[in-house]
Copies of this chain bind each other. A is one copy, B any other.
Amino acid sequence: MSAAGPPAPPEAAPLAVVLLSGGLDSTTVAAIAKAQGFRLLALTIDYNQRHRIELDAAARVAERVGVERHVVLPLDLRAFGGSALTADIAVPKANHGEPVQPGIPVTYVPARNTVFLSVALAWAEAAGARDLFIGVNALDFSGYPDCRPAFIHAFEAMANVATREGGFTVHTPLIAMTKADIVREAVTLGVDLSQTWSCYDPTPDGRPCGACDSCRLRAKGFAEAGVKDPAL
């Protein structure tokens, strides 16, 4: 894909692979990586997710942020199911403002971030990049095990014995931020949040449901940051 948006960093800038779903978090991470001087290889996984509409958002965001190349890789996790995002299991909705459920919710997709980071690692090693960026967050999050610092550290350790030369770093700039912090950071960096997509369970006419975990966390972030969500 062509590099639209802000002027591209010089050729000599290091390459990084950024996992880009097209949501608030990964879009902000892409902008952070760009601001840190990396040239970006953006990787979006088409895992046959319920909210495949996010793939369109990822394409728009990749163009706005400006990346060297954007790959949308089909990798059908629906073949295995086991999640409300990849099987015929209802996405839980908020009820009277109460938390949706305790524990790890059914929207958890088994080993999704492991798979995503592994593919990012494959691309990085092939392209000579040593930096991976992922928008995991362990504060205002859904409790997924593969968003926690312990997972990221273990993945990085594994990556460095899995490959020819090692030397990989998994960057998680959002990991200790609240959703409000993330919204503020995005605004500071001039990210066009109107192009992002977060909802797990779009309405038939392609709008956010407003009641799933992902919609609720997003709304909470914008509310606490005192910013109007431009995507609504």
Contact = CB atoms under 8 A, between A and B. Distances in A.
Interface of A: 71, 73-77, 79-83, 104, 108-115, 117-119, 121-127, 145-146, 148, 150-151, 154-155, 157-159, 161-164
A126 to B, nearest CB: 3
A33 to B, nearest CB: 19
Contacts of A163: 110-111, 145-146
A216 to B, nearest CB: 22
The 9 A-B pairs with the shortest beta carbon distances in the complex, nearest first, are: A82-B126, A110-B125, A111-B122, A154-B158, A118-B118, A80-B126, A80-B123, A158-B158, A111-B121
Contacts of A73: 75-76, 79
When all copies of this chain in the complex are counted, the total is 2
Contacts of A74: 74-76
A79 B45 CA distance: 12
Nearest to A17: B80
A80 B17 CA distance: 12
A219 B181 CA distance: 60
Contacts of A83: 126
Contact of A157 (B115, B118, B123, B157): B157
Given A77-B122, A110-B163, 4 more contacts: A111-B122, A112-B122, A151-B158, A154-B161
Contact of A145 (B77, B146, B161): B161
Given A82-B126, A126-B81, A113 B151 contact: no
